[in-house]
Amino acid sequence: MHAQQMISTHPHVRGNTNDVLIRCIEACFDCEQSCIACADACLGEDMVQELTQCIRLNLDCADTCRAAGSMATRRTGSNEVALRTMLEACGLACRICGDECERHAQQHQHCAICAQTCRQCEQLCQEAAQSKTGSQQQH
Amino acid sequence: MHAQQMISTHPHVRGNTNDVLIRCIEACFDCEQSCIACADACLGEDMVQELTQCIRLNLDCADTCRAAGSMATRRTGSNEVALRTMLEACGLACRICGDECERHAQQHQHCAICAQTCRQCEQLCQEAAQSKTGSQQQH
Amino acid sequence: MHAQQMISTHPHVRGNTNDVLIRCIEACFDCEQSCIACADACLGEDMVQELTQCIRLNLDCADTCRAAGSMATRRTGSNEVALRTMLEACGLACRICGDECERHAQQHQHCAICAQTCRQCEQLCQEAAQSKTGSQQQH
Amino acid sequence: MHAQQMISTHPHVRGNTNDVLIRCIEACFDCEQSCIACADACLGEDMVQELTQCIRLNLDCADTCRAAGSMATRRTGSNEVALRTMLEACGLACRICGDECERHAQQHQHCAICAQTCRQCEQLCQEAAQSKTGSQQQH
């Protein structure tokens, strides 16, 4: 992904990037795609009936990741409190989804991989929420 | 919108609907559209330079509304804590966006209307977050 | 929804609205919500194994509706060819999803309602694609 | 991103992946993020008044990329015609957005980078649309 390049060339950032936030953005888009994929892979399993909770959590997690990744991308103006709250909501959805995927990790490799991407996104959302999420230079 | 009809026919709901949650879902999709429209209308104003913070908040608000509206729509299984947290994050983004739109309401009618849809969505997100958001009948 | 009010107050539109496009926007957001709800209701059915194709088409349809509804909302500048192509892609996804939902309409009321919202959205996407989708007054 | 790992472990794919489709999925999520970032960076420029068309195309492109990337991720069941049409619509939106970004590439580095991600996504959408986009093994 080009998140680092895109954000470091923003007129209010000018190279002075919040690196944990950038890694968090990439993790959000990665986790969104993994969760859409895991929901769909679970849907294709013969035992889909036993994976409906996993599918539901995957889709919820994908929705929060998309919102968090998009909000965190914006550096014009400021929306720090809302962004921090969104990052926390996303970290929570990732944790719950990762826990559920973990339960099916032995049986389904897509759940094992998705659990990992959820863990990484959870971790980075928490770190980013505690970092200085505002743009470095206000106009 | 058909949110009421769709959710009342869900196999785990069977008519036993959470009406404030349904009104919240409709408010989320309405507010998402209003915020996308307001961001674009602000972008078309001659004084766009003075509306950049409003545009940014509009786009952030649209993202949270979409995530909250989609999550709140799902009634299979359960994700109550994550949903409640997402509804709170959305209510907050709506409040901040509504406050900013309010500042331009005298000059721009799109901001005045958008401020109203943000207020309504904020209110319903708060009420829904305090309601029983889980599906009524677990399998 | 407030699509009519929001778009009629856009600085480049100023009341001179494309009404079929506005009804199309509302249909897209309505259909997105219905399809997310139908996917989730199908997931909650005991016979979910037989509804996996319906769930997949629902989720695909929701994605196209969201993209079409968002693009059609924007009236600043111009992106007519891309918008028309997106409306056609959305109409097609709605038709395919509506056909599948129709097959389950006798057994599942959520599929019957979703088939209707898909039909309406398909129809309006086609009409809107043939209408003048550009903003009426270019800067 | 983990698109390759996620899709190769899907029960209907089982390692028999369409590699151009996977690269297309990654390009769609990358281009979505770049376009959200470029819209926001343009919004932060002093000359924002001259970049409103670029912002509009960026947001439209981000919407189509998200829809195409999500649809292309699903491998359960089949929706080949709709997927191919969506990939074509996305390729078109990317081409139009890339052309506009190109015009500002000398002045704004974010536009130069975004033009590249649009080009890559356009190319991969076209290639993927011509590839076998259906899941390899139908149930």
- Could you tell me which of C131, C123, C114 has the C-alpha nearest to residue C72? C131
Chain C residues whose C-beta is within 8 A of a chain D C-beta are 52-53, 55-57, 59-60, 63-64, 66-67, 70-71, 74, 76-79, 81-83, 85-86, 88-89, 92-93, 96, 139
Q: What is the ipTM of this complex?
A: 0.95
Model confidence pLDDT, tens digit, residues A77-117: 999 999 999 999 999 999 999 999 999 999 999 999 999 99
- With a cut of 70, which residues of chain B have pLDDT below it? 135-139
Question: Average pLDDT of chain C?
Answer: 95
Chains that touch B (3 or more CB pairs under 8 A): A, C, D
Beta-carbon contacts of B111 under 8 Å, excluding residues fewer than 6 positions away, are B38, B42, B54, B101, B102, B103, B104, B105
Sign of CA pseudo-dihedral B104, B107, B110, B114: positive
**DSSP character at residue C59:** H
Comparing CB atoms, the residue among A3, A25, A37 nearest residue D73 is A37
pLDDT over 70 for what percent of chain A? 96
Please say whether the beta carbons of C9 and B110 come within 8 A: yes
Q: List strand residue ranges (DSSP E) for A34-113, in order.
A: none
Chain A residues lying within 8 Å of D36, measured CB to CB: 70, 73-74
Question: Distance between CA atoms of D107 and D96, rounded to whole angstroms?
Answer: 19
Task: Tell me the C-alpha to C-alpha distance, in Å, between residue A77 and each of B37, C74, C96, D1, D38.
Answer: 19, 21, 42, 29, 14
Question: Distance between CA atoms of A39 and C58, rounded to whole angstroms?
Answer: 13
Q: Is pLDDT at C112 greater than 80 in this prediction?
A: yes
* B77: region left, alpha or beta (phi > 0 left; psi from -120 to 50 alpha): left
Model confidence pLDDT, tens digit, residues D21-70: 999 999 999 999 999 999 999 999 999 999 999 999 999 999 999 999 99
Q: Is pLDDT at C136 greater than 60 in this prediction?
A: no
**DSSP character at residue D136:** S
- Could you tell me which of B99, B103, B87, B66 has the C-alpha nearest to residue B20? B87
Model confidence pLDDT, tens digit, residues A40-86: 999 999 999 999 999 999 999 999 999 999 999 999 999 999 999 99
Kindly state the helix (H) or strand (E) to which residue D60 belongs, with its residue range: helix D52-73
Model confidence pLDDT, tens digit, residues C52-109: 999 999 999 999 999 999 999 999 999 999 999 999 999 999 999 999 999 999 999 9
Please say whether the beta carbons of D117 and D31 come within 8 A: yes
Chain C residues whose C-beta is within 8 A of a chain A C-beta are 40, 43-44, 46, 48-49, 52, 55-56, 59
Chain B residues whose C-beta is within 8 A of a chain A C-beta are 52-53, 55-57, 59-60, 63-64, 66-67, 70-71, 74, 76-79, 81-83, 85-86, 88-89, 92-93, 96
Cβ distance of D3 and A38 shorter than 8 Å: no
Question: Average pLDDT of chain D?
Answer: 95
Question: Average pLDDT of chain A?
Answer: 95
Comparing CB atoms, the residue among C70, C81, C92 nearest residue D82 is C92
What is the least distance, in Å, from the CA of D15 to any CA of chain A?
12
Comparing CB atoms, the residue among D9, D29, D110 nearest residue A33 is D29
Question: Distance between CA atoms of D94 and D109, rounded to whole angstroms?
Answer: 18
Mean pLDDT for C23-30 is 98
Mean pLDDT for A23-29 is 98
Which structure tokens are listed for D64?
Answer: 């189509």
pLDDT at residue number D138? 42
Give the global pTM.
0.96
What is the least distance, in Å, from the CA of C41 to any CA of chain A?
11
Task: Tell me the C-alpha to C-alpha distance, in Å, between residue D36 and each of A103, B64, D40, D122.
Answer: 35, 15, 6, 17
Chain C residues lying within 8 Å of A59, measured CB to CB: 40
Between D19-43 and D80-103, two packed helices, what is the crossing angle to 10 degrees?
40
Which structure tokens are listed for C128?
Answer: 């809107």
Beta-carbon contacts of C65 under 8 Å, excluding residues fewer than 6 positions away, are C28, C29, C31, C32, C35, C90, C93, C94, C121
Chain A residues whose C-beta is within 8 A of a chain C C-beta are 40, 43-44, 46, 48-49, 52, 55-56, 59
Please say whether the beta carbons of C57 and D79 come within 8 A: yes
Angle at alpha carbon of residue A26, lines to A22 and A31, rounded to 5°: 140
- A90 by DSSP, 3-state: which? helix
* B134: region left, alpha or beta (phi > 0 left; psi from -120 to 50 alpha): beta
Comparing CB atoms, the residue among D10, D74, D117 nearest residue A2 is D117
The single residue listed with the structure tokens 């996996």 is: C52
Q: Is pLDDT at C34 greater than 70 in this prediction?
A: yes
Chain C residues lying within 8 Å of B7, measured CB to CB: 37
Comparing CB atoms, the residue among D26, D29, D40 nearest residue A74 is D40
Comparing CB atoms, the residue among B34, B46, B70 nearest residue C36 is B70
* Closest chain C residue to D74, measured at CA: C56
Question: Distance between CA atoms of D83 and D93, rounded to whole angstroms?
Answer: 15
Cβ distance of D53 and C77 shorter than 8 Å: yes
Q: How many CA atoms lie within 13 A of A20 on its CB side?
A: 14
Question: Distance between CA atoms of B39 and D96, rounded to whole angstroms?
Answer: 21
pLDDT at residue number D109? 97
Cβ distance of A43 and C49 shorter than 8 Å: no
Q: Is pLDDT at D139 greater than 50 in this prediction?
A: no
